[in-house]
């Protein structure tokens, strides 16, 4: 049988993730090969994602490969997948989640609390920057993009960088992390730490991928993504959403904030159905005043990815 073709970005982390999926398929007796694709998000590195179209730029070219038959399935970091997929595409599986928290790399200060006043902290995320400023308004947030290794290297010229622990750990670079930030300080992005497999419904790629779905991860990430859907969230808006298994149900926390951290609106709920829970938390955020914050920071044309 012809090997399955796995569409993937070319970054070291993306290739690690695609190889992980290939290994899991191999354990099920299915051969697969990688189709390496450069996305717009990989090519445009001199501007924040919010200015060039959002995280969907890491996904679009992979979806084109699915559409024209170059790939049978595509592997993404779940946090990079917009909540609204094009017609004819679907997420088949969310793989077991790695630690979703954010990591601080601060070679001199070591810990967030010990960063000097006015410290320059690099991050590619409005969500991270907003929460760090809410805790420490004195900080200077410096936009930093590129692959994991590129961002880690910037820590030497800045006071610190903050990035997802999952990617650092997957690449075997966790020894550079000086502190894992608690979710009370930096609530993760929806889907952070999870890998998503996308395919066209009814295809061989979908059938091969569905058995790889991790039930608990899937429930959590689906609840988080409903928050984004209800709030029309994208990387142009500082939104965090993080769910954990809580007994037989889920505990979902989410927040929306002003980019400068001057105001943060939070909500949390417990429940059993991911879609219902996500909708309830989104409604609670709006009731608490998230609407004006969302409208104030949403860039024209980017509110509905």
Active site residues: 80
Give the pair of three-digit tokens for residue 153.
Answer: 């290297």
Give the pair of three-digit tokens for residue 151.
Answer: 């961002």
Give the burial class of 135: count Cβ atoms within 10 A of its Cβ; 0-12 exposed, 13-18 middle, 19 or more buried: middle
Nearest to 281 by CA among 219, 226, 203, 214: 226
What does the alpha-carbon distance between residue 133 and residue 125 come to, in Å, rounded to a whole number?
A: 12
Strands, E assignment, 214-285 = 239-246, 249-257, 264-271
The SS3 assignment for 183 reads coil
Q: Are the beta carbons of 252 and 281 closer than 8 angstroms?
A: yes
> Could you give the C-alpha distances from 34 to 22, 140, 186, 228, 296, in angstroms and in order?
8, 40, 34, 30, 42
């Amino acid at each position: 049988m012809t090997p399955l073709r796995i569409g993937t970005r070319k970054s070291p982390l993306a290739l690690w993730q695609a190889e992980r999926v290939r290994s899991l398929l191999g354990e099920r007796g299915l051969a697969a090969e990688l189709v390496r694709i450069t996305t717009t998000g990989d090519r445009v590195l001199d501007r924040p994602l919010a200015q060039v179209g959002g995280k969907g730029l890491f996904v679009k070219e992979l979806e084109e490969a699915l559409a024209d038959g170059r790939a049978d399935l595509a592997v993404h970091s779940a946090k990079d997948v917009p909540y609204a997929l094009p017609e004819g595409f679907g997420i088949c599986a969310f793989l077991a989640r790695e630690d979703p928290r954010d990591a601080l790399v601060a070679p001199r200060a070591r810990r967030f609390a010990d960063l000097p006043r006015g410290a320059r902290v690099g991050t590619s995320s409005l969500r991270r920057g907003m929460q760090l400023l809410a805790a420490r308004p004195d900080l200077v947030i410096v936009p930093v993009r590129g692959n994991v290794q590129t961002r880690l290297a910037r820590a030497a010229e800045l006071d610190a960088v903050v990035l997802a622990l999952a990617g650092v750990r997957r690449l075997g670079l966790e020894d550079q992390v000086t502190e894992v930030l608690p979710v009370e300080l930096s609530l993760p992005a929806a889907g952070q730490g999870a890998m998503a497999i996308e395919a066209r419904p009814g295809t061989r790629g979908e059938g091969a991928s569905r058995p790889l779905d991790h039930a608990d991860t899937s429930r959590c990430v689906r609840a988080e993504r409903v928050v984004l859907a209800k709030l029309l969230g994208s990387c142009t808006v500082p939104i965090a959403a993080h769910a954990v298994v809580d007994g037989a149900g889920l505990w979902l926390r989410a927040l929306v904030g002003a980019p400068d951290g001057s105001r943060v609106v939070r909500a949390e709920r417990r429940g059993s159905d991911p879609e219902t829970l996500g909708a309830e938390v989104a409604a609670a955020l709006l009731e608490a005043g998230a609407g004006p914050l969302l409208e104030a920071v949403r860039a024209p044309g980017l509110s509905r990815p």
